Amino acid sequence: MNETCDRCGPAVLAAYRLERRGQLYLCRDCASRHWPALAGEGWSIWVACERALAPQAALPSTAERTPALAAMSYA
């Protein structure tokens, strides 16, 4: 899969896939920035491309319930 960030455009590889009524793809930076708001809106956040995740990526504590964070802890 080579999905790209819906906010940054086609030059940036998406690291996360979000699902609610539709689908949204975000890079690591966008996901980190918007994570609390998106989680608060009920989006489910999944890892879309593990290679797009940096090992030092730290996300807000609201991410703790999500499968994405569980995957990240092994990165």
Q: Among 27, 38, 39, 69, indicate the residue that binds Zn ion (CB under 5 A).
A: 27
Q: Among 5, 47, 48, 52, indicate the residue that binds Zn ion (CB under 5 A).
A: 5
Q: Distance of alpha carbon 14 from its chain centroid, rounded?
A: 8
Residue 10 vs 42, nearer CB to Zn ion: 10
21/13 Cα distance (integer angstroms): 22
Q: Interface residues for Zn ion in 30-69 (CB under 5 A)?
A: 30
CB atoms within 10 A of CB 44: 14
- Residues contributing to the site for Zn ion (CB under 5 A): 5, 7-8, 27, 30
